[in-house]
Amino acid sequence: MPPRGARKAALDVVPPTEDSPIKRKIDEESNLLSPRRQSKRIKSIEQFRINPSTSSPAIARESADRDTRSSQKTQSQSEESAGLIKEEFEEKEQTVDTEVKDARVKGQAITTAKATKTRTKKDQIEMQPLRARTQGLRMYVGAHVSAAGGVHNAVNNSKHIGGNAFALFLKSQRKWDNPPLQDEPRDSFLRLCKEQGYDAAKYVLPHGSYLVNLAQEDKAKSKQAYDSFVDDLHRCEALGIKLYNFHPGSANQSSLPDALVRLAKALTNALSATKTVVPVLETMCGHGSTIGGSLSEFRDLLALIPKEYHARIGICIDTCHSFAAGYDLVSPEGFQAFLKEFEDLIGIQHLRALHLNDSKAPRGSKRDLHANIGTGFLGLRAFHNVMNEPRFEGIPMILETPIDRPPSTSNGPPSTTKKPPKKPAATKTQLVPDFSVWAREIELLESLIGMDPESSKFRELEAELFEEGRETREKHMEQHKRKLEADEKKAAKGQGKQKTLMEMMTKSKTKKASKKGHDDESEDEGCQSC
Ligand SMILES: [Zn+2]
Ligand SMILES: [Zn+2]
């Protein structure tokens, strides 16, 4: 069984999401949390169960050490191994209206919960880290953790999963009005970072609000977005944080060049209004009019920003997004070609962070569906590429993978004796975040450093994770194929009509026919995936 505190803490924290919208109801305070991600129960890999005493993450000090890395033990921090941390958590049971009809459950029977249920109580709990942080690595892996109850709580939440870097929201990401940052959480954040050995200037990467679109046309909305953005940047500077990740935004109905001009102006103003913080633009999946699917768009944006500010513009590669946008990150050649393009178009000095997510949808699908590491279409190979890329050393690598699981599977090691009960038909189960998923993924990723991808160890891991994600991948591949077929049919229909109309126009040149032809052509333009 997991530590009591870990299970209780699990109720307090919600993982991040950039998935397509899911049906859910979250109370007001949960806006401070990372949003929940819809997820199926995905079996955890056995060898990365939480047990720091048996873990053997690689230590990457020198390349010459690589052969011996796997035998080196995690250095448990004395304070982590010595004692329990007592903290007061405001426990919140969040509401998730999520179908888990295909959830597989080990151990206890699923407790079906009401779709809407909110409970708050104060509880004194004990929290023991799920794993110790690995010391001496060049790769700084962590996750987007909750800052519920104050930004300072993110520090311990990251420590809890053994993260050497972390992301957080600095304020509610789903509402515009937020109280200013108070002195107390600010001071606690600074103190805890120091105590726990997190260099906030390097390895803390807040995520901006989903509401903010600096590229939008509407004047009033644009000002609102800019004010919120600059407020976040000021919060970063107050907290000693240098990197700030945000989405480039969307052109909406306007043209991409116009949108880039607006984004560049807003960014330039924000840079002149601040001193040290580095806004970090995240690569996106290229859906619709979203900016940031193609790396060339970052090149075009940089060209619109005065040179003196370039040192303060960063890019964050989200592996799921860039893969969904069409880039091959799986084959070593494709991965190297992607980085070459990054270097040629943008410049590697702008690469300041990574978001590590596998993808439930295939390459080029333009769908933003994060999967657990190794279970999606990227697979473990892609993350082997990432974890052994020298250009990624020393920058924060943040997991945004789904961790919501049915309650009986959370945190505790899966039962090896009990068989999963038959799932009740058509029931909805309240999922809870299982932080041990992130702890295991961090350990898994760290273990890939220096691992031979042709070794039996790697192949076994790869095969096991591949199998875990099979069902989900097949489902999304099917959806993708249907989408492509529908697009093809639509295109063929449009072309057919266009041809017919051309003939008609040639013959009669009727005004009505001309208008219809134009409409059909318009329907086939643009991305309509997801
Ligand atoms: Zn994001
Ligand atoms: Zn991301």
Mapped onto helix, strand or coil, the DSSP state of residue 116 is coil
What's the pLDDT score for residue 490? Answer: 86
Which residue out of 80, 232, 400, 441 is catalytically annotated? 400
What's the pLDDT score for residue 83? Answer: 29
> Could you confirm whether 488 is annotated as catalytic?
no
What's the N-to-C CA distance of the chain in angstroms? Answer: 40
The alpha carbon of 111 and the centre of ligand 2 are apart by a number of angstroms equal to: 32
- Asked whether the CA dihedral 492, 498, 501, 507 is positive or negative, the reply is negative
> Could you confirm whether 370 is annotated as catalytic?
yes
> Could you confirm whether 350 is annotated as catalytic?
no
Strand partners, 120: 92
Candidates 388, 391, 398, 413; CA nearest to 50 is: 413
Which residue out of 91, 93, 126, 210 is catalytically annotated? 210
Rounded to whole angstroms, what are the CA distances from 350 to 23, 173, 397?
A: 36, 25, 15
> Could you confirm whether 126 is annotated as catalytic?
no
> Could you confirm whether 485 is annotated as catalytic?
no
> Could you confirm whether 247 is annotated as catalytic?
yes
Candidates 377, 290, 297, 364; CA nearest to 325 is: 364
The alpha carbon of 516 and the centre of ligand 2 are apart by a number of angstroms equal to: 41
The first and second tokens of residue 119, run together, are: 């409970």
Give the ligand at the shortest distance from the Cα of 400. 2
What's the pLDDT score for residue 520? Answer: 29
Which residue out of 69, 312, 321, 363 is catalytically annotated? 321
**Residues of the chain predicted below pLDDT 50:** 1-32, 34-47, 49-126, 412-418, 501-502, 504-530
Which residue out of 174, 343, 471, 524 is catalytically annotated? 174
Which residue out of 287, 355, 367, 480 is catalytically annotated? 355
- Tell me how long the chain is: 530
The alpha carbon of 351 and the centre of ligand 2 are apart by a number of angstroms equal to: 14
Give the ligand at the shortest distance from the Cα of 316. 2
What's the pLDDT score for residue 90? Answer: 34
252-282 burial: b if 16+ Cβ within 10 Å, else e: eeeeeeebbbbbbbbbbebbeebeebbbbbb
> Could you confirm whether 152 is annotated as catalytic?
no
